[in-house]
Amino acid sequence: MKRAQVLMIAATLLLLTAVSTLLFSQSKVKFDQPVLITSAGQSADVTIAGMLFKKANVQARAISLAKASDLEGIKTLVVVAGFSSKGLGAAGISREQELDRVKSLLAAAQEKKLKIVTFHLGGKARRGNQSDDFNKMAAEVSSYLLVVKQGNEDQFFSKLAAEKKIAIELVDKIADAVQPLAKMFEK
């Protein structure tokens, strides 16, 4: 084998390694515990998120109506976005009150330099005017988005992620979120 060929192969290998490391590191956005799960819009998807954490073996506390004071000692805030009129009814608050709560909670989390993650699990049912204010509000300040594809048919989340340079993971089904979730908190 000529020396040039050897060099060429070596260079190619090196390049491949570099590229794969880069890709690998991109998919490895890391988060720390303790975790607080909250809702933005009071959909029952918080319960589903709680179930995902259980399946992924990651400890997390869920408080649907979390306030800034609940962030004490927390390292990662997971916001489950999506509006539900029944959920707001259950919480006994108006949509405006919920918007205010989420806004101030996110501001407090940013001030404390917590990592914020947005989950969108409810597909089309949690999209549309009523939901998208919550979806946008949470997603824009997140460093990671975990989205079930049906809720991103119009690229709402992927566009936002590209624009704000936020890592995003799209999964086909809610159950497929377990693996990326476990990875997020891998040591």
Partner 1 sequence: MERHHIVALCLLIVVAVVCTLAGREFLKMHEPDEIIPGQGVTKIENLSTYFGALAGMSSDTKVYILDSGRPGATALVLGGTHPNEPAGFMTAVVLTEHASAREGRLIVIPQVCGSGFTCTDPLEGYPQSFSVQSKSKMRTFRFGARGSNPLTEWPDPLVFLQYPSGQQLSGNEVRNLNRSYPGRPDGTVTERIAFAVMQLIERENVDIAFDLHEAAPEIPIINAIVTHEKGKDAAASALFTLESENLQYALEMSPPNFHGLSHREWGDRSPVFPYLMETSNPIQGRLRGKTNEALVVQGVDQKYYEAAQIGSMRITYNLEGEPLARRVGRHLRGVQALLGAYMESMPEKRIVVDNVPAYEQILERGIGEYLH
What is the contact surface with partner 1 in residues (CB under 8 A)? Answer: 43-45, 47-48, 50-51, 84-87, 89-90, 92, 122-128, 130, 150, 154, 173-175
Output the smallest distance, CB 173 to partner 1, in A.
Answer: 5
Q: What's the CA gap between 47 and 64, in Å, rounded? A: 9
CB atoms within 10 A of CB 60: 20
Strands 76-81 and 61-62: unpaired
Q: What single-letter DSSP state applies at residue 61?
A: E
Q: How far is the CB of 56 from partner 1 (least distance, A)?
A: 13
Distance CA 140, CA 136 (A): 6
Q: How far apart are CA 32 and CA 49, in angstroms?
A: 17
- Measured from the CB atom, the residue of 51 and 68 that comes closer to partner 1 is 51
Q: Which is nearer to partner 1, 41 or 138 (CB)?
A: 41
CB of 48 or CB of 68, closer to partner 1: 48
When the beta carbons of 143 and 150 are compared against partner 1, the nearer one is 150
Identify whether 34 is preceded by a cis peptide bond (ω within 30 of 0): yes
Rounded least distance, CB 175 to partner 1, Å: 6
CB of 22 to partner 1, least distance (A): 33
User: In whole angstroms, how close is the CB of 49 to partner 1 at the nearest point?
Assistant: 9
Which class for 89: exposed (0-12), middle (13-18), buried (19 or more C-beta within 10 A)? Answer: exposed
